[in-house]
Structure 1
Amino acid sequence: MTESFLPSLNGVTTSVCRVLDHLADRGHEAVVICPGPAPESYRGFPVRTVQGLTLRQFRVGLPTTDLERILHEVRPDVVHAASPFGLGWRGLAAGRNLGIPTVAIYQTDMPSYLAQHAGPLRGRISNVSWRWIRHLHSLADITLAPSSATLAELVKHGVPRAALWSRGVDTALYSPELKTSDEVRALRACVAANGETIVGYVGRLAQEKQVHRLAEVADLPNTSLVVVGDGPSREKLEQLLPKAHFLGFRQGLPLAQAYAALDVFVHTGVNETFGQTLQEAMAAGLPVVAPAAGGPLDIVKPGVTGYLFDPDAAGALRASVNSLVIDPALRERMGDSAHRKMEARSWSGVVDELIGYYGAVVTPSYSRPAA
């Protein structure tokens, strides 16, 4: 049960699809419940849609009684609620009412996201959001957080029965071997005609991603800035970064080729519960620079696979990126270390861990809240 699914493409959808891929490979059965419209099936698994509406370019499912009806018909062994908020809350409640064990995946920092759009009501909105998060996750038998920083945040705000479950990366798709392909060489020639060092960002172009921080590195000497992605902030960012190359939205092999064309990867947002694009960049053999906050703390090893900069210190991002720009040997060494680290983070192993959590909550001895 997911708040987002195909054709919408984002971190939640990607994670859900990778889990489904490996469930299919292992012979498990699954049914996807998501906002419509959506494909009728995925990897042979049926997709059941519920009524939804579009909010800020996101398709949002409505928390109707359809969820309880669908769960009653399907009678699954376990309900997996991906990034629950509205639709997921209703599904977790339905699972509890029907006596079906539930696993909630905390992925989106919704309190911070809502607070960023709340203006003078920021503090109040954040408090209300956390009360809601605590309530809806209290309905789950277990809540899985993607990073140690996020797990600590959940515990701090009173979310019960929380544990750590990380994310995998497709090391076959994102690979340093693409660097020598004709397509990547052509892309590099297009965005860095004079052999500049290419600094890049990949992700959604929205306010909460804080992509405006790239202005700090936009004028570094002998560099070319590349932005991959799309979203509601694109027009403002194009005005802020007039010399940057905006490549638009990419997925699959074209996305992997865009990573391979970069020399340095920069992550900008401070409210990430994980940081999947960091893993993809590292799998591609890139040194990475990210804020010392949230999910990146678990992914980036400072001085080995990249740098963590202080997001509150003026010039910290620029200094970190510049140290990589001026030292090709350092970039290569850190990129190699990053690639080796990601080789141990395949989706296969990560989903096996998730299946272990499924197995735990379905056992009769598992301590769960009373219905």
Structure 2
Amino acid sequence: MNTADLRIALFSGNYNYVRDGANQALNRLVGYLLRQGAQVRVYAPTVANPAFEPTGDLVGVRAVPIPTRSEYRFPLSISGKARRDLATFAPNVVHVSSPDPVAHQALTWARDRDLPVLASVHTRFETYLRYYNMAWLEPVMEAALRRFYRRCDALVAPSESMAQVLREQRMNYDVSIWSRGVDREIFHSGRRDLAWRRSHGIADHEIAIGFLGRLVMEKGLDVFADTLDELRERGIPYRVLVIGEGPARDWFEERVPGAAFVGFQQGADLGRAVASMDMLFNPSVTETFGNVTLEAMACGLPVVAAAATGSQSLVDDRVSGRLLPPGAIHQMAEAIRAYIEDPALRAAHGAAGEARSLEFSWDRINQAVADTYVRLLRQKARAPR
């Protein structure tokens, strides 16, 4: 049994209709598996105008728009057509990437046929409740997630810090690492473009604090804005460069007056925008890895981040950036102030981050997932029926 013998049915709640770090990682994985000779079929919600073309064969499942977040779809069930396609494809391993109703059905389908199931964890769903004044429901959400993940044969998480959280939450005890890579053609310090900065109103001598990600509250937009308020009250000069789009853009523009909002960027344009920051400020606690943190590091930027899953496995505190308690407005402002006022510190921590980013190769990372599929198949073959 090797990678070329794999027949993988991948179930995703969002494979390509809205672009985010999780589905881009899934598409990269599928592309790698296909190049190694494996066969892959993806089952996920589809829309008329997706954000990008899917990698591999995509079969639609029943889904409805999520209330208040209509850009996202909520997978409801595996349609009869999709079930017939699944039976014809005859996978030997099932991969589920979000704990939605379709994934539950796929898990039951696989267990009925004694097929191994791997779950990849991309988001800390239980932490989202904090941003909608429902933190009291976190234990209930954790219990529901635990029931789902413990029915799987194994989990993969994008960072060791996230894997440890999953173990502590008793989600599963077979947890390995599926990290994330960075495209060195796109993200590097040579992409910095002062003329582009000037076109967005940022002078060469001004220090640009960067935000990179979807503009949604669960990315810590409130903490970002409150931290900048403290800097402004202390008379510390700065500019803000925001890369991304999302439903909270109007709120964020009002809370961060004078910021340069450059919208959604991709490819070389994204690399230029990130490299043209002077530091990244990532206050989010919902990421399991933090692609944006790694991309900023690859561009030679220091990172100020919440000490949460993901960032903790990337940023070396006081070496390549600062890791601070989530929501610690005063400490975050102080860390940013130090970078604004000390260009040598900024350069040293940026260089350390860039050196660390060289460790992340997409092919090596994706082969680790293929190896996990093969291991689960071998374990299943040896197990008494």
Same fold? TM cut 0.5: yes
2:197 pairs with one of 188, 191, 195: 188
Q: Structure 1: how far apart are the matches of 2:313 and 2:104?
A: 28
Q: Structure 1 residue 47 and structure 2 residue 58: aligned?
A: yes
1:33 pairs with one of 21, 28, 43: 43
Fraction of identical pairs, as percent: 28
Q: Structure 1 residue 132 and structure 2 residue 132: aligned?
A: no
- Partner in structure 1 of residue 6 of structure 2: none
Q: Structure 1 residue 229 and structure 2 residue 244: aligned?
A: yes
* 1:258-337 mapped onto 2 (5 Å cutoff): 258-337=273-352
SS at match of 1:129: helix
Query: Deviation at 1:369?
Result: 11
Query: Deviation at 1:137?
Result: 1.1
RMSD: 2.2
Query: Deviation at 1:194?
Result: 5.5
Between 215-224 and 196-205, report the one with greater CA deviation.
215-224
Change over 3 Å in CA distance of 1:74–1:299 after alignment to 2: same
SS at match of 1:289: strand
- Partner in structure 2 of residue 85 of structure 1: 100
Which TM-score applies when normalising by structure 2? Answer: 0.87
Query: Deviation at 1:77?
Result: 2.2
SS at match of 1:30: strand
Q: Structure 1: how far apart are the matches of 2:118 and 2:158?
A: 13
Change over 3 Å in CA distance of 1:194–1:354 after alignment to 2: closer
Would you identify which runs of 4 or more consecutive aligned residues in structure 1 move more than 4 Å? 38-41, 65-68, 364-370
- Partner in structure 1 of residue 88 of structure 2: 73
Q: Structure 2: how far apart are the matches of 1:197 and 1:116?
A: 29
- Partner in structure 2 of residue 170 of structure 1: 183
1:61 pairs with one of 72, 75, 84: 75
Instruction: Answer whether contact 2:17 2:46 (CA < 8 A) is retained.
Output: no
Query: Deviation at 1:359?
Result: 0.9
Q: Structure 2: how far apart are the matches of 1:37 and 1:271?
A: 26
Change over 3 Å in CA distance of 1:64–1:20 after alignment to 2: closer
Equivalenced residue count is 362
SS at match of 2:208: strand
Q: Structure 2: how far apart are the matches of 1:105 and 1:369?
A: 26
Deviation string for 1:54-74 (max 9, x for gaps)?
Answer: 111212222335454432221
Structure 1 segments unaligned to the other structure (5+ residues): none
- Partner in structure 1 of residue 26 of structure 2: 16
SS at match of 2:239: strand
Which TM-score applies when normalising by structure 1? Answer: 0.91
Q: Structure 2: how far apart are the matches of 1:192 and 1:65?
A: 51
Q: Structure 2: how far apart are the matches of 1:30 and 1:19?
A: 10
Q: Structure 2: how far apart are the matches of 1:236 and 1:42?
A: 32
- Partner in structure 1 of residue 169 of structure 2: 157
2:114 pairs with one of 83, 99, 104: 99
Letter in 1 for 2:361: S
Change over 3 Å in CA distance of 1:307–1:364 after alignment to 2: closer
Structure 2 segments unaligned to the other structure (5+ residues): 1-10
SS at match of 1:62: strand
Change over 3 Å in CA distance of 1:297–1:108 after alignment to 2: same
Change over 3 Å in CA distance of 1:46–1:369 after alignment to 2: farther
- Partner in structure 2 of residue 141 of structure 1: 153
Change over 3 Å in CA distance of 1:368–1:96 after alignment to 2: farther
